[in-house]
Amino acid sequence: MMKSMKIFYVFSLLGLSVLLYGITPYNESANDFNATVETIVYQSNDNVVFKYVIRYDKNNKRDFVSADIQFPKTVAQNMVVNAYGLADGNIEWTGSFINGIDINGILFFSKGEVGKPGKPDKYVMVNKNMEIYEKESSLNPGETLNLFIIIKKGGIVPGMAEFLGYCNRAFWIFEDAGDAPPNFDDGNHPKVFKVIGPVPEPQNPSSFISALIEWTVYSYNKGWISSTDVYQGLMDKLSAAMGQILQGKEKYHTAVNILGAFQNQLDAQRGKAITEQCYQMLFVDAEILIKRLKN
């Protein structure tokens, strides 16, 4: 009996919303879009640059409006040299550091065309019950956006991070919060991409090689390494390098040679059985570990 009453109550409220607004409530989702996100990592002078190439599908029905790249709390604001972006049409994007409770990150949004004053944002009614936030310089379907995060060298290496993307969407408007039907979902959920981002450098060689093994396993499970034979060859080399590192400093030179062979295999399979962003992460991390072992 109680269950029947509850169902009746829910449908009564939904009916009230229809009566009040003359349309059944719905909400578009912020993650209702298709895109690819590629990471490119390179070193420049005293910095490590993380470049994210977002290719926004031409068939998307809404513009792309913001991105949030999240990483561990130990990546602090004073480690970030700059964060910015540039999209098709010479549209400038800016990045702001976000100091969260459990994680930190960079929030990106567009500023407008380079060298020109930005146009004011506005809300436009889709119909009498819904509105959409319009930003003149959003990323349009079919366009490409390049985002950059520049991090100081030292204490930071390329590792696994999350890229949260948001498209624009229409909001259901309620005259009062109490008018919302039960369990109403506002649709403000991002699309999450696994990418390469800044993470704390492991404290010692043994923990570093363990992390490199973990990232290689993840890359294979993610499909970034498409050949089982190539994956097994990489893992064999990392396991051998770990065995040498665990024996102490007198064996570091042997581990360096093995890691060099690991890099050679990455070079040989780059763009074949190994994706570019996987290559970028594993090669750079192996290079950093080699330098540490030599010192």
Q: What is the pLDDT of residues 43-102, one digit of tens each?
A: 888 999 999 999 999 999 889 999 999 999 999 999 999 999 999 999 999 999 999 999
All structural domains of the chain, each given as residue ranges with its CATH number in brackets, are: 35-200 (2.60.40), 205-294 (1.20.1440)
Tell which wins on pLDDT, 135 or 33: 33
pLDDT value of residue 5: 38
Q: What's the whole-model pTM score?
A: 0.81
CA dist 29 and 62 (Å) reads 10
Contact (CB, 8 A) for 49 and 191: no
The residues, any chain, with a CB within 8 Å of residue 147's CB and separated by 6 or more, are 51, 52, 54, 67, 69, 83, 84, 85, 93, 95, 108
And the tokens for 193? 């991409």
Of 195, 258, 255, 223, residue with least CA distance to 37: 195
pLDDT(273) > 90: yes
Contact 151, 288 (CB under 8 A): no
Selection from 203, 204, 206, 208 nearest residue 159 by Cα: 208
What share of the chain has pLDDT > 90, as a percent? 66
Torsion of CA 150, 152, 158, 164, to 10 degrees: -40
**Which stretches within the chain are classed as H helix?**
2-21, 205-222, 228-245, 252-269, 276-294
Distance CA 195, CA 5 (A): 47
Task: Name the DSSP class of 148.
Answer: E
For the stretch 217-253, pLDDT in tens is 999 998 999 999 999 999 999 999 999 999 999 999 9
* pLDDT band, residue 180 (cuts 50/70/90): low
